[in-house]
Amino acid sequence: MAIVFSLVLAIVETYLNWGDWQFAPLWMVDYLIVIVLLLGVFVCKQNQNKILLLGWSFSAGVMYMALFLPFDLVSGLTLVQEDINILFAIGLALGISLIGIVLTIIDN
């Protein structure tokens, strides 16, 4: 699940930002999630559950922030500016991240 999620996240992030790379920390965190999850799967066999839990938790936090930021009245963003399909995709990514957390804890 971590491999598929990481690859899809990297591809979607690249697709959405291609030609208009916004403020760097906004897209760099997604690639950091990809790196941490793939490290947990392929490199860190000794502490695999800890690394995967870190990746899933970081992903859940980032997706939570990205999902609910347009609903903040102070931020200046409005739902009109946000594509509803992107919000659904972010909500799906948040759900997958939460499932990843639960499955990693159960596996431990």
35-75: per-residue pLDDT in tens?
Answer: 999 999 988 878 888 889 999 999 999 999 888 887 766 65
What residues have CB less than 8 Å from 53, skipping those under 6 apart?
101, 104, 105, 108
Residues in the chain: 108
Contact 62/33 with Cβ under 8 angstroms?
yes
Residue range 20-34: mean pLDDT, rounded: 81
User: What pLDDT digit, counting tens, does each position of 3-24 carry?
Assistant: 999 999 999 888 887 877 777 7
Dihedrals phi, psi of 19, to nearest 5 degrees: 90, -20
